Amino acid sequence: MIKIETVLDILKKNGLFREIIDQGSYYYNYSDVDFDSISYDSRKVKERSLFFVKGASFKKEFLLSAISQGLGWYIAEQDFEVGIPAIIVNDIKKAMSLIAMEFYGNPQEKLKILAFTGTKGKTTAAYFAYNILAQHHRPAMLSTMNTTLDGKTFFKSALTTPESIDLFDMMAQAVHNGRTHLIMEVSSQAYLVKRVYGLTFDVGVFLNISPDHIGPIEHPSLEDYFYHKRLLMENSRAVVINSDMDHFSVLKEQVEDQDHDFYGSQSSNQIENSKAFSFSATGKLAGDYDIQLIGHFNQENAVAAGLACLRLGASLEDIKKGIAATRVPGRMEVLTQKNGAKIFIDYAHNGDSLKKLINVVETHQTGKIALVLGSTGNKGESRRKDFGLLLNQHPEIQVFLTADDPNYEDPMAIADEISSYISHPVEKIADREEAIKAAMVITNQELDAVIIAGKGADCYQIVQGKKEDYPGDAAIAERYL
């Protein structure tokens, strides 16, 4: 429960309050008003809910529907003139985050919070951190692939970083379940739309940056994308940064007065003796490590997670055990066909991550390579050119272009756009299962490989705005082993 006086105090203290507009209702004495729920979904309101009006696509009908269910108050950036009192604010997203913190009892103060940002690697690094902290602590995790608030039950999140009301609700559940730490992925979108406004992280980790999520409904430019990712550093007590990432000098200057660790070639925390399933580290993590996920970039993610967890109470032994135990659904999963050929299933869904994936596979598999790939519809359009230009440099790879969450676009039109940048022949098969089957057919000995990129462990295809059931890349590959 939260009293209206508390709501108004929070808004005034943070410069967000404008006025209360009371259109002839009977709430002349506001001091006796309180709310037993908060929501931004008009379908989930009750008589004593405080409803937040947010979103560019919000319609007045949603508010009228909520009022028909008994809603008595709402909070918005404008007066919708619907006959109930309105709290008018300057910024609804900021207001929602700050009020949610208070409503759920400020759970962020009862957890050690570790956040990862980066164009790629957030989920893998989060899994490493979860397994490290699970050795002697009780972590919760909010991840794109799997979320757990009790360490036992895992479910897939709808968003990389949940809306603020959902986020603080989940944090409160984690506290109730006796969790001591929270590991989460923080997207650039989370800062762009203020899902984590007012939240301070104990440790923030910046893994890398490359052009992605740039388009009409996301970030207008790389500069804007980078700026919003850097806000995590500004809102963290201590930071861990990859010294080999693009634009490192900007970050290095930004965090010089903060507690920080760097890793990579411009630091003392480096990777040595890198092999497929082991590596050595220098610096704070000095020692030898076993790892199940192949690829140097996964070893970098492990080091980033290790340095962050060291600041949160993990021992070197915890870090070694946690790294060795980590597997990630849809991240460098490896299957073997009866003929010995390998199948690599990975979430690589932009040009940079696909380039790294191909490089890793070609290091270990020197035979024929087939690649199954699509690109999402109605978002991340710049990836299509990136894919095409990259694959044009790899005429040795047999490419099968197919569907990957086409949404409202024709998957073959997306395939045509990718292939327009490729000068050698490619196969185009709209049905993803048929594309996977066709790619597997052309590999026949143990040095051959099929790379299935993009969807990872997702068990759906987004078509016409809806999630359609899809068995998943691994399940389909297993049918044809």
Answer yes or no: is 123 a known binding residue: yes
Answer yes or no: is 120 a known binding residue: yes
Tell me the residue range of the domain where 241 lies: 107-325
Mean pLDDT on 6-19 = 96
Q: What is the pLDDT of residues 183-236, one digit of tens each?
A: 999 988 899 889 999 999 999 999 998 765 555 656 667 788 888 899 999 999
Q: What is the pLDDT of residues 341-365, one digit of tens each?
A: 999 999 898 998 899 899 989 988 9
What confidence score (pLDDT) does residue 277 get?
A: 85
Answer yes or no: is 119 a known binding residue: yes
Mean pLDDT on 53-82 = 91
pTM score: 0.81
Query: What is the widest separation between alpha-carbon atoms in the chain?
Result: 80
What confidence score (pLDDT) does residue 119 get?
A: 86
Answer yes or no: is 118 a known binding residue: yes
Same domain, residue pair 386 and 440: yes
Q: What is the pLDDT of residues 412-444, one digit of tens each?
A: 999 999 999 999 999 999 999 999 999 999 999
SS3 state at 25: coil
Same domain, residue pair 127 and 274: yes
Residue 26 pLDDT greater than 80, yes or no? no
Same domain, residue pair 115 and 99: no
Binning pLDDT at 50, 70 and 90, where does residue 372 land?
very high
Residue 315 pLDDT greater than 80, yes or no? yes
Binning pLDDT at 50, 70 and 90, where does residue 30 land?
confident
Crossing angle of helices 122-133 and 316-325, rounded to 10°: 130
What confidence score (pLDDT) does residue 460 get?
A: 92
Answer yes or no: is 160 a known binding residue: yes
Q: What is the pLDDT of residues 171-185, one digit of tens each?
A: 999 999 999 999 999
Binning pLDDT at 50, 70 and 90, where does residue 290 land?
very high
What confidence score (pLDDT) does residue 211 get?
A: 60
Mean pLDDT on 245-265 = 95
Residue that is last in its domain, among 104, 119, 145: 104
Same domain, residue pair 266 and 218: yes
Mean pLDDT on 27-48 = 86
What confidence score (pLDDT) does residue 294 get?
A: 85
What confidence score (pLDDT) does residue 217 get?
A: 59
First to last CA, the chain: 55
Residue that is last in its domain, among 325, 346, 377: 325
Rg of the Cα trace of the chain? 24
400 closest CA partner among 362, 452, 364: 452
Distance set, CA 465 to CA 58, 169, 217, 375, 376 (Å):
18, 27, 15, 15, 12
- The fraction of the chain above a pLDDT of 70, given in percent, is 96
What confidence score (pLDDT) does residue 24 get?
A: 52
Same domain, residue pair 294 and 274: yes
Binning pLDDT at 50, 70 and 90, where does residue 333 land?
confident
Same domain, residue pair 251 and 134: yes
Residues present in the chain in total: 481
Same domain, residue pair 166 and 25: no
Domain CATH for 274: 3.40.1190.10
Answer yes or no: is 326 a known binding residue: no
Residue 27 pLDDT greater than 60, yes or no? no
Same domain, residue pair 113 and 260: yes
Answer yes or no: is 161 a known binding residue: yes
What confidence score (pLDDT) does residue 92 get?
A: 96
SS3 state at 191: helix
- Share the mean pLDDT of the chain: 92
What's the structural domain count of the chain? 3
Same domain, residue pair 222 and 127: yes
Same domain, residue pair 152 and 273: yes
Domain CATH for 95: 3.40.1390.10
Answer yes or no: is 187 a known binding residue: yes
Answer yes or no: is 93 a known binding residue: no
SS3 state at 309: helix
Domain CATH for 467: 3.90.190.20
Answer yes or no: is 366 a known binding residue: no
What confidence score (pLDDT) does residue 130 get?
A: 98
Q: What are phi and psi of 421, to 5 degrees?
A: -100, 0
Residue 138 pLDDT greater than 60, yes or no? yes
Q: Give the span between the Cα atoms of 327 and 333, in whole angstroms.
A: 8
What confidence score (pLDDT) does residue 101 get?
A: 97
What confidence score (pLDDT) does residue 349 get?
A: 86
Residue that is last in its domain, among 295, 325, 355: 325
Q: Which two tokens stand for residue 480?
A: 């044809």
Q: Give the span between the Cα atoms of 334 and 345, in whole angstroms.
A: 6
Mean pLDDT on 102-123 = 95
Binning pLDDT at 50, 70 and 90, where does residue 29 land?
low
